[in-house]
């Protein structure tokens, strides 16, 4: 069995990562998702253990000390990190897994796992990003301002990614994301076991 693949998804807050992924998992229910551990306050519409495990700073720092994180970062004053064990287990098990991380987290993962595939979600414009964050209504004006301040620095690093998707028309963007996963599965290194088995039978 070939190993699963790691897909990294990043994009500024409000670019539509969650919306896109909800649609992607409907199309590709076989994909696994890495649940991050984070220290920010839970939002009204969030369920613990769905996208995030909400933990204290002390618990998070213990995970750092015990080397239990594949990557982590501080974003607008809170820790966000990817627990290592579930990601490695999925890959070993042959499952493809998606991690959603910020640009710093993505750089850390790329360094450790250069075979991963990374995708940056871009809003059609900064104005649209601002209005989506305001319409979502999950953060105070101050917190929206802090997220928009981070956004430009994140967008400036979009070139570090293998792919960029503009999330303007939602269905088009979801199809593009799904296509990236489909084509990744056709890569020669993912089919090496089959290639070898055909050759071995005829030797
Ligand atoms: P992120 O996870 O990147 O922070 P969200 O998925 O929460 O972003 O999207 C931010 C807001 O933008 C949400 O209110 C969502 O409904 C809206 N949104 C996402 N994608 C689109 C799109 N293609 N067109 C219009 N609105 C969108
Ligand atoms: P939010 O608070 O809007 O859910 O997420 C804020 C930012 O943290 C987003 O850019 C999101 O991609 C990023 N993020 C979510 N989970 C992780 C994680 O596990 N590690 C890192 N480094 N960033 C994360």
Q: Where are the alpha helices (DSSP H) in 94-184?
A: 103-112, 126-136, 141-155, 170-184
Q: How far is the CA of 170 from the centre of ligand 1 (A)?
A: 9
pLDDT at 156: 97
Quick check: 72 and 104 in contact, CB under 8 A?
no
154 Cα nearest atom in ligand 2: 10
pLDDT at 168: 98
pLDDT at 118: 98
Quick check: 124 and 16 in contact, CB under 8 A?
no
Torsion of CA 87, 90, 96, 100, to 10 degrees: -20
User: Nearest Cα to 57, choosing from 86, 78, 28?
Assistant: 78
51 burial via Cβ count (<10 Å: 0-12, 13-18, 19+): middle
| Residue with the two structure tokens 């999330």 | 167
- Whether residue 19 has its Cβ less than 6 Å from ligand 1: yes
Quick check: 98 and 20 in contact, CB under 8 A?
no
- Closest CA to ligand 2's atom 6: 13
Run of H or E including 54: strand 52-54
Q: How far is the CA of 99 from the centre of ligand 1 (A)?
A: 18
- Whether residue 132 has its Cβ less than 6 Å from ligand 1: yes
Residue 203, C-beta contacts closer than 8 angstroms, at least 6 positions apart: none
Q: Where are the domains of the chain?
A: 6-201
pLDDT one digit per residue (tens) for the chain, 203 residues? 789 999 999 999 999 999 999 999 999 999 999 999 999 999 988 999 999 999 999 999 999 999 999 999 999 899 999 999 999 999 999 999 999 999 999 999 999 999 999 999 999 999 999 999 999 998 899 999 999 999 999 999 999 999 999 999 999 999 999 999 999 999 988 888 899 999 999 88
- Closest CA to ligand 2's atom 15: 101
pLDDT at 2: 82
The phi and psi torsions of 118 (rounded to 5 degrees) equal -120, 140
CA distances from 161 to 47, 131, 132 (A): 30, 25, 23
82 Cα nearest atom in ligand 2: 19
DSSP secondary-structure letter at 58?
A: H
- Whether residue 152 has its Cβ less than 6 Å from ligand 1: no
Pocket of ligand 2 (CB under 6 A): 10, 13, 36, 40, 71-73, 75, 80-82, 100-102, 104-105
**Both structure tokens of 56:** 């204290």
CA distances from 120 to 20, 51, 75, 159, 187 (A): 12, 19, 17, 9, 20
Into which CATH architecture does domain 6-201 fall? 3-Layer(aba) Sandwich (3.40)
User: Nearest Cα to 154, choosing from 128, 122, 115?
Assistant: 122
């Amino acid at each position: 069995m070939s190993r699963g693949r790691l897909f990294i998804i990043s994009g500024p807050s409000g670019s539509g990562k969650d919306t896109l992924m909800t649609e992607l998992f409907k199309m590709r229910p076989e994909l696994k998702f890495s649940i991050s551990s984070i220290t920010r306050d839970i939002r009204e519409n969030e369920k613990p253990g769905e996208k995030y495990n909400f933990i204290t700073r002390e618990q998070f720092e213990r995970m750092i000390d015990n080397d239990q994180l594949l990557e982590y970062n501080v974003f607008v004053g809170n820790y966000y990190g990817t627990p290592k064990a579930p990601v490695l287990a999925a890959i070993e098990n042959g499952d493809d897994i998606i991690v959603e991380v910020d640009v710093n987290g993505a750089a850390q993962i790329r360094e450790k796992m250069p075979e991963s595939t990374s995708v940056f979600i871009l809003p059609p414009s900064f104005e649209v990003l601002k209005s989506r964050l305001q319409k979502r209504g999950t953060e105070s004006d101050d917190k929206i301002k802090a997220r928009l301040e981070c956004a430009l620095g994140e967008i400036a690093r979009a070139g570090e990614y293998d792919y960029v998707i503009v999330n303007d028309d939602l269905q088009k963007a979801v199809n593009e994301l799904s296509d990236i996963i489909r084509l990744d599965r056709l890569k020669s290194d993912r089919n090496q076991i089959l290639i070898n088995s055909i050759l071995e039978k005829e030797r």
